[in-house]
Every structure is written in C-alpha cells, then in structure tokens.
Amino acid sequence: MEKIHPNCWNEHGELKTVMVCSPSSVDVPDQRTADYVGWEKPVNQEKAKENHEEMTQAMEDAGIAVIDYSKYLKDEVKELNQQLINRVFVRDLACVYGNTVIPGDAGTTMRAPEYVHCHELFQSWFDEKVFSIQDNNRLKALENGDVFVLNRDSVFINTGLRSSIESIEALKGKIFQAGFSEIGIIDLPRTGETMHLDMNCNVAGTDILIAKSYMRLFPVQVVNEKGGRYVMMEEFIKRQGFDVLWTDDIKHTVADINFLNLDPDTLLISTKANKKILKDHPKLKGKKLIEVDVNELEKGGGGIRCMTLPLERRE
C-alpha cells in the first residue's frame, strides 16, 4: 500500500478515496440475538456481503478508489476481525479533518478490537505528520458517526450515546491545529435510533443539510480557541452556509438519512430511502441519485454513510 494523502475539508466534495470493510463471517441468526447485540434484525452475512459488493461496485463505477481494510490484516488479527459483527461500520473508526487523520475511540467494548486493528494499519498508510495512533489515548469515547466536517472553518460533533464531551475537550486542540477555527457541539438524546449524529442529519450537497425536525429545538455550543457560546442549531448551520431542510418524513432512519455524497451533485442512497425527502427542497431536485440495495446491511443498525470512511475528497 502506497502512502495515502488524506484530504477532506467538507462532506460533499468529489470523493476520490474511501475505506470500507466487508461484512463479518458470523451471522446474527435470530431476533433475540439481534436484540442482545443492538441490531435491528437478524442478518445473513452472505446476503450482507452481496449488498456490500453492490455498494462497493457503485463507488468504483463512479471512479472512486475503494480500500477494504480487512484485506490488509494478517494472521491472528485477521481471524479475529472476521468475527467482529460491527466491523462493516468503518465511519466510526477515524475522521479526516482536512489533511489530518484523528483516530476515534470505541463507545462500547464490543467494538474496541476493530479500532485497534484499523489504527495499526493507518500507521503504515499515513505519514506520522498526519496520523498519530496516540491521539486517542486521552479519549473516553468518540465514534465518528457523530462528526461532520462542514467546511474549512467548522466541525459539527454530537456528544451522545457513543461519544463523550470529555473526549471532545481532549481533542479540540488537535482539531484547531488541523486548521479549523470552531467546533459546534450538540447533545442529542441517548437512544438507539439517535445513536450517532448521522442518524439524525446529513449534508446533502454544497449548501443544504437535511435534519430531523426535533433537532431545531437543540442549542449548539460553539467552541473556538478563545472560548465559547451557545446558539440554536439552525443559526449555527446557516452560519456555515447551509440551508436546513427540517423533516418529519423519516420512515426508516438509516435508509432515509444515512446516504453518502459522491460529489456535490450525486448521492449514493439505499433502495429503501424515502426519495420524497430528496425532492422537498429546490436545492435537492437536481440531484443524481444512485441507488444500491443495502437492506441486509441496514439491519445491523447502520447505513451507507456508516459503512464508508472518506479519505480523500476534491474540494
């Protein structure tokens, strides 16, 4: 593997390189087991792998370099990793802040091994100047489904079920060093349906964000190197140059809102997504929608955004 030069200053630029991980080899055989492990429904991993291949192929057809990190694992680590049922949800493992890669920290011990496996690979994939495996040593929990890089100035982070305010406090200096001037912090309900920020809202293009309507009632703590203040979420988002489409028309949280921007005009979405949402605003009507069947994968409680970690975007 040649060194990767990370570059992500937003959520909507043309995607050039993305990391994924193929599904586990272990089925979740029945609803009782799914409930125990926090999944929505039982999952047949052979079907899940077919879904994953379709998703990967769609990105490759769009000219995106797709890296499956599981293919680079060796020996005992590879054997263990194949049995980790959540390994497909790579978004949580790290985030590219501009040209800096900062490792996340698992919010549940069930997911801890995959973080270690991935971060050890990153040591050889990235230069020491852009990635340090020690950066998460002071974190208590930070899963990057809770993080949006909005633009060159601002990052939006949720302190929820899987990410702690203590971790954001420990990490904020590193984010400022990466080139960002402010961090918007929101504290959403701690439930399975609202587990991560990207299960509640998503950037849908250069200047439009889709969010569940209840979020407009939440304040955002805006933190910079000099201090902080509170504003309502809509004010914070609009100040970053985004209109907000508030919607209650969410039938399936993961399928409807957990999509991926392939470029400013193209979204990779689930075949189960409520496409009406993506036509409810003038700035969304011209979007190209590429649909992929990820139904079996979505039963694990995560969608397309959860299963993709952008490493390089063209601004």
**Which tens digits make up the pLDDT trace of 39-52?**
999 999 999 999 99
CA pair distance 11, 237, nearest whole angstrom: 14
pLDDT at 60: 98
CA-to-CA distance for 307 and 89, rounded, in angstroms?
Answer: 4
Of the options 3.40.50.300, 3.40.1390.10, 3.75.10.10, 1.25.40.80, the CATH number for the domain spanning 14-314? 3.75.10.10
Closest to 105 (Cα-Cα) out of 74, 69, 134:
134
What pLDDT shows up at residue 243?
96
Quick one: pLDDT at residue 238?
A: 97
**pLDDT value of position 2:** 82
Contact status, residue 261 vs residue 267, Cβ threshold 8 Å: yes
Asked if residue 220 lies in contact with residue 186, where contact means CB atoms within 8 angstroms, the answer is: yes
What's phi and psi for 230, nearest 5 deg? -110, 140
- What pLDDT shows up at residue 194? 80
CB 223 within 8 A of CB 185: yes
Global pTM? Answer: 0.95
The one-digit pLDDT tens for each residue of the chain (315 residues) are 788 999 999 999 999 999 999 999 999 999 999 999 999 999 999 999 999 999 999 999 999 999 999 999 999 999 999 999 999 999 999 999 999 999 999 999 999 999 999 999 999 999 999 999 998 988 889 999 999 999 999 999 999 889 999 999 999 999 999 999 999 999 999 887 788 999 999 999 999 999 999 999 999 999 999 899 999 999 999 999 999 999 998 888 899 999 999 999 999 999 999 999 988 889 998 899 999 999 999 999 999 999 999 999 998
Closest among 11, 37, 35 to 24, alpha carbons compared: 37
b/e map of 36-72 (b: 16 or more CB within 10 Å)?
eeebbebbebebbbebbeebbebbeeeebebbebbeb
Distance of alpha carbon 59 from alpha carbon 53, whole angstroms:
10
Domain boundaries, the chain: 14-314
Buried b (16+ CB within 10 A) or exposed e, 84-101: bbbbbbbbbbbbbbbbbb
Q: What is the 3-state secondary structure (H, E, C) of the chain?
A: CCCCCCEECCCCCEEEEEEECCCCCCCECCHHHHHHHCCCCCECHHHHHHHHHHHHHHHHHCCCEEEEHHHHCCHHHHHHHCCCCCCCCHHHHEEEEECEEEECECCCHHHHHHHHHHHHHHHHHCCCCCECHHHHCCCCCECHHHEEECCCCEEEEECCCCCCHHHHHHHHHHHHHCCCCEEEEECCCCCCCCCCHHHCEEEEECCEEEEEHHHHHCEEEEEECCEEEEEEHHHHHHHCCCEEEEECCCCCHHHHHCCEEEECCEEEEECCCCCCHHHCCCCCCCCEEEEECCHHHHCCCCCCCCCCEEEEEEC
Cα–chain center distance at 209: 15
pLDDT of residue 280: 82
